[in-house]
Amino acid sequence: MSFRITGNMKLLKIYLGWIIVFCLVFGVAIWLTNEGRYFNEKRHAVAYASSNFHLKDQANFKRVASEENNTEDTSLSRISNHDTITRVITKQSQRLPLFTKEYLETVAPEIFNRVPEHFLPEYRNPCWLENGTLWCLPYFYIIGFHKCGTTDLFDKLLFHPSVLKVGKEPHWWAIRRLGLKKHFSLHADIIKEVQALPGAQDVSSFAWYLNWFKYQTVAHVQGSSLSIKDSNGTPKTFHSKVFGDGSVSTLTRVIFEPWDKVFPGGEDPDLLPYLMHAIQPQAKIIITLRDPVSRFKSMYYRKFAHGSSPTSLHQYAVLAVRCATKCLKESGVRHCAYFSHCQNLPQIYLGIYVAFIKHWATVYGLENMLILRMEDKLKHPVSEFRKVLNYLELENLSDAECERIMNTKVFNQNKAGHQEMLNETKALLREFYKPFNKQLATFLNDEMYLFGY
Ligand SMILES: *[C@@H]1O[C@H](CO)[C@@H](O)[C@H](O)[C@H]1NC(C)=O
Ligand SMILES: *[C@@H]1O[C@H](CO)[C@@H](O)[C@H](O)[C@H]1NC(C)=O
Ligand SMILES: *[C@@H]1O[C@H](CO)[C@@H](O)[C@H](O)[C@H]1NC(C)=O
Ligand SMILES: *[C@@H]1O[C@H](CO)[C@@H](O)[C@H](O)[C@H]1NC(C)=O
């Protein structure tokens, strides 16, 4: 008996030896291919820069997409299981995922089954008729960032005569669609009223999302009819009024928890811009930013309203920077931004704007989006407001009217957020964000995104 065990032990040792050697060789090979570029000056920045996300235009995107297409075993269009996709993408964390229309149709069949390829030309919103009933999707999306003035912008736009009032944040595309069970207190009444409509009981269904707008505003879009003449002088009706969706989750998909904890095995967070583009290629996409250091501070005072102080802010900043730096070193920006468990400290990744913007720019094209800074709105409210009207192709307003709108109370402003921040906190956070701001400035080709440091 003991003799046989010894013999088996010997064999086992040989096997183990080979397995260890194999793992070492394999590990070193992987490390060399993926991580070698870390050893430049700014670690996390370089990790991001070395990614495949340097895609400034559609042509470039198509080229990379077709290259990826040729890699048989990792072609995502061929993998049907969400779980596998999440794993594959997480592993190749710096690669551009490829989401074909065919694949997207399998992810969200209920959307593709209802939304036509062409919308009614007499509406600004994407609208269509189904059995004589008008349905519309949002004309514009203010997709983020959280604590960067999205609510203020959304509410100020409601003063424009062509913009219709609707609850700002249905949080459908990035959150409810995926079946998040958590309770949101925002718009609780409207949510219930919409659920009472036929077929709209399930808040994760596309029917609920369509009814969200149907219930609040579609009739007003339909009722806003102007008689105009087309280029041939033929009279026709034009519906000038529009509505939008201002859910901040759309851009970052982060609420207060790591993505994989909320949606275990769920769809990849990068998929959303591809999905929305496949449905609404002409959507107007607005993003607001501010110095990520002041965003962090504002988020902190918002989240920890009780017992907050510059000293405790500093403690949180130290923890957040430590946690984020560790994650960035180990896993890269994309993984940390969506999957990391440092989100509660308080969402330090959301200030890495470039990580989120790049996906939308890849799909929609930067030239088709509008990016604003909160700092500019404070300095030049009227011209910044005009930028938005111009981008949304809404009727111009007089200076006096723009001033009146911009002088109304600031919405969702965080008074405590004006508290001082220690110099050392500021220095710490600036150092953390600086390399990412630099990439953002390069990407957007404008030094103002360095935020002065
Ligand atoms: C990827 O491959 C499919 C099927 O061969 C093809 O139809 C599609 O055009 C390719 N996509 C790109 C971006 O080359
Ligand atoms: C429209 O009518 C068709 C045929 O009667 C029916 O199958 C379909 O469900 C209807 N669509 C809606 C949205 O009610
Ligand atoms: C809008 O109106 C203002 C003031 O009347 C004018 O200065 C500006 O050029 C107009 N903008 C556009 C895009 O027409
Ligand atoms: C913080 O920095 C400002 C400007 O650099 C300086 O005026 C101020 O004295 C500093 N405060 C402290 C407590 O060091």
Ligand 3 atom, smallest distance to 399 CA: 4
DSSP string, 186-246: TTHHHHHHHHTSTT---TTSHHHHHHHHIIIIIHHHHH-EEEEE-TTS-EEEEE--B-EE-
Element counts in the chain: helices (H) and strands (E): 21, 8
pTM here is 0.77
Q: Give ∠ CA 277-67-54 in degrees, rounded to 5.
A: 60
- Return the ligand number nearest the Cα of 423: 4
168 CA to middle of ligand 2, Å? 30
Per-residue pLDDT of the chain (453 residues; tens, 9 = 90+): 444 545 566 666 767 777 777 667 665 555 544 333 322 223 333 223 223 222 233 333 333 333 333 332 233 333 333 333 333 334 333 445 578 888 899 999 999 999 999 999 999 999 999 999 999 999 999 999 999 999 999 999 999 999 999 999 999 999 899 887 666 778 989 999 999 999 999 999 999 999 999 999 999 999 998 887 878 888 788 899 999 999 999 998 876 666 777 777 778 888 999 999 999 999 999 999 999 999 999 888 887 766 678 998 999 899 999 999 998 988 888 888 887 777 566 689 999 999 999 889 989 999 999 999 999 999 999 999 999 999 999 999 999 999 999 999 877 666 655 678 999 999 999 999 999 999 999 999 999 999 999
Q: Are 387 and 372 in contact (CB under 8 A)?
A: yes
Q: Are 359 and 74 in contact (CB under 8 A)?
A: no
Which residue, judged by its Cα, is nearest atom 5 of ligand 3? 398
| Pocket of ligand 3, beta carbon within 6 A | 390, 396, 398-399
Q: Are 371 and 287 in contact (CB under 8 A)?
A: yes
Q: Are 287 and 372 in contact (CB under 8 A)?
A: yes
Residue 4 CA from chain centroid, whole number: 61
Residue 181: what pLDDT? 66
Residue 336: what pLDDT? 85
- Return the ligand number nearest the Cα of 70: 1
Strand-pair partners of 284: 140
200's tokens: 């709209």
For ligand 2, whether the C-beta of 131 sits within 6 Å is yes
Long-range contacts of 42-47 (CB under 8 A, 24+ apart): 42/435, 43/328, 43/329, 44/325, 44/328, 44/329, 44/333, 44/435, 44/436, 45/435, 45/436, 45/438, 45/439, 47/94, 47/328, 47/329, 47/332, 47/333
- pLDDT tens, 363-406? 999 999 999 999 999 999 999 999 999 999 999 999 999 999 99
